[in-house]
Chains A and B, each alone.
Chain A
């Protein structure tokens, strides 16, 4: 990680930062910027609209996987409720425009604040629990939300099982709404957001917050006996990753133009977890790669009419062959072959 890649050691040293010789660091930054630009532009010239759409879906799943992986890696907590925030972002955005008469940007802001309040309250209740209870509580909260949108009394707002068509007029955060439906432009946007969020979470992982979260994961009692408040860092981490899930949800609804109960469903949360495990949870690159791989694999398996069967087989094979995820496994292999500095 310290030599410029976005993979991270599971137990990254507390004091290690982006160290190393200055030219090496500069090279890594230049290479990263070129990668960011090339990734945003080159596929739009080479790939069809269909492939770009699949890729964009993969990036959004990768963003969700990134949020789940960060919490697993840094705090040792597995969240199974990513979909409730992902889909909830879309619903709140749509309701803000259609029922509350807000402009798209204002609806986005209000939806973001409501989600912030929701995850902060939920987090305050559940981050103190043990990891298993935490996982079950995130699952329960997610299921409650996904069933709430189907309530007859809320049908006027949520559209019930039909979901909501989202008509966006004008601009969102200065971007013309029509661009979000363009596969090439949306790919570039999703790519840029995924890379920036990945870098941001990587930075948080290397920050003091990341070090404290890992130490709490390691030995919470010792942290309390060392004078640390172990609640606030975990709550902060939980809120942070849910904001990433919200960003993915906003991008999804802006691109798709509709939001449905499926976006809140358990399958989104489990797909997220699978994408994170396939790609590798110990860095930012793995979950995004996992999301892309999952998206393209699902399309391929679907074309053969054996989606669930082949997905199950693929998950088993990947996790057996790459227990640290594809990116984690390749990173370890490159270290063993001496392509990367030992301990980096």
Chain B
């Protein structure tokens, strides 16, 4: 589904990502990306979705090199993302914004998305006037419209309690499994990642440290030394 090849991204003289390789399969499993602050997790997501151009390396999606493709092109091809800082249309009602995007992407199953993200009670409210946790669900719902094949989520649990984070992860895990799509989740909450993700990649200082099942990652000495410590 998604293959990252020798991907590097620099911010001026600072190298945020260095020769990162990563493969994500579309087998209905969540793929978690973890690592300490400054590891390059969000930069990796930005480079995958086209928000930031890589300095070198390639992004392949469904076998095609899409490194130079625009954000909107990627979205229309089924690559969707949600944001660390909620990105919704604050002054539109929840229903209006979902419908606007659904009409554009030709998705006539908006009710499914509303049900999965449990937004039925908020449809007529402006997004800026609902609780932050619900706004995060709207953000994810916007990404789910159009039945994306690859879902990229940047810290979906940011600003949520541990319970809300686990609930949101549960929603997404079920959806990914039902649809057999791929999802990449960057998340600080290691417990949520290990509980819901089928595959985990660890980044450290912009480099790929390890990829494996949650069990393998918990037991990886390099990961324990660089990131997990006693947290695992």
Q: Is B87 an interface residue (CB 8 A)?
A: yes
Chain A interface: which of B34-42, B61-69, B75-83? B75-83
Query: How many whole Å from B18's CB to the nearest CB in chain A?
Result: 26
B72 touches A211 (CB 8 A): no
With A15-B96, A222-B142 as contacts: A228 and B89 at CB distance below 8 Å: no
Contact A225 B100 (CB under 8 A): no
A172 at the interface (CB under 8 A from B): no
A228 to B51, CA, bound (A): 14
Out of B70, B81, B96, B143, name the residue touching A14 (CB < 8 Å): B96
Interface residue tally for chain A (C-beta within 8 Å) = 21
CB under 8 Å from chain B, chain A span 316-343: none
Known: A226-B75, A226-B101. A14 touches B92 (CB 8 A): yes
The docked-state distance in angstroms from the alpha carbon of A38 to that of B194 is 73
**Chain B CB within 10 A, most for which of A13, A212, A222:** A222
Residue contact B91 to A11, C-beta cutoff 8 Å = yes
Q: For B166, what are the chain A residues with a Cβ–Cβ distance below 8 Å?
A: none
CB neighbours (8 Å) of A15 from chain B are: 95-96, 99
The answer to whether residues A219 and B87 also contact, given A14-B92, A15-B99, A228-B104 and a CB cut-off of 8 A, is: yes
The closest CB in chain B to the CB of A219 belongs to B89
- A224 on the B face (CB < 8 A): yes
**Chain A residues with CB below 8 A from B101, complex form:** 226-227
CB <8 Å contact, A224 and B71: yes
- Nearest neighbor of A231 in chain B, beta-carbon distance: B72
> CB < 8 Å: which of A222, A224, A227 contacts B89?
A222
Indicate which residue in B72, B91, B95 contacts A227 across the interface (CB closer than 8 Å): B72
Q: Does A126 contact B (CB under 8 A)?
A: no
7 contacts across the A-B interface (CB closer than 8 A): A218-B89, A222-B88, A224-B70, A225-B71, A225-B143, A226-B105, A230-B72
Cross-chain contact B49 with A225 (CB below 8 angstroms): yes
Q: Does B16 contact A (CB under 8 A)?
A: no
CB of A1, distance to nearest CB on chain B (Å): 15
What 1/0 flags go to A9-43 for Cβ under 8 Å of B? 01101110000000000000000000000000000
In the complex formed, the residue of A with least CB distance to B101 is: A226
The CA-CA distance from A128 to B95 in the complex, in Å, is 28
Of the residues A215, A224, A227, contact of B97 by C-beta under 8 Å: A215
B105 touches A219 (CB 8 A): no
A13 CA to B101 CA, complexed, in Å = 14
Which residues of B have CB within 8 Å of A222?
Answer: 87-89, 142
- The yes or no answer to A171 lying at the interface (CB within 8 A) is no
Is A162 an interface position by the 8 A CB rule? no
B94 CB, min distance to chain A CBs, angstroms:
11
Among residues 189 to 232 in chain A, which have CB atoms less than 8 Å away from a CB atom of chain B?
208, 211-212, 214-215, 218-219, 221-222, 224-230
Task: Enumerate chain B residues within 8 angstroms of A13, measured Cβ to Cβ.
Answer: 92-93, 96
Interface contact B89-A215, CB-CB below 8 Å: yes
- A224-B75 contact, Cβ under 8 Å, with A13-B96, A211-B100: yes
Say how far A52's CB is from chain B's closest CB, in angstroms.
41
Are B91 and A226 neighbours in the complex by a CB distance under 8 Å? no
Asked if B26 CB lies within 8 Å of chain A CBs, one says no
Complex alpha-carbon distance, A219 and B89, angstroms: 6
Q: Please give the distance in Å from B111's CB to the nearest CB on chain A.
A: 15
Shortest CB–CB separation between residue A229 and chain B, in angstroms?
6
Q: How far is the CA of A212 from the CA of B100 in the complex (A)?
A: 8
CB <8 Å contact, B146 and A227: yes
Residue of A nearest to B105 (CB): A227
Q: How far is the CA of A14 from the CA of B100 in the complex (A)?
A: 7
Give chain B residues whose Cβ lies under 8 Å from the Cβ of A211.
Answer: 96, 100
Flag if B97 contacts A225 (CB, 8 Å): no
Contact partners of B95 in chain A: CB under 8 A: 15
Quick check: B87 and A227 within 8 Å, CB to CB? no
Cross-chain contact A219 with B88 (CB below 8 angstroms): yes
Contacts of B97 in A (CB 8 A): 14, 215
* Contact partner, B87, options A10, A212, A221, A230, Cβ 8 Å: A221
| Interface core residue of A15, A212, A214, A224 (most chain B CB under 10 Å) | A224
A30 to B45, CA, bound (A): 56
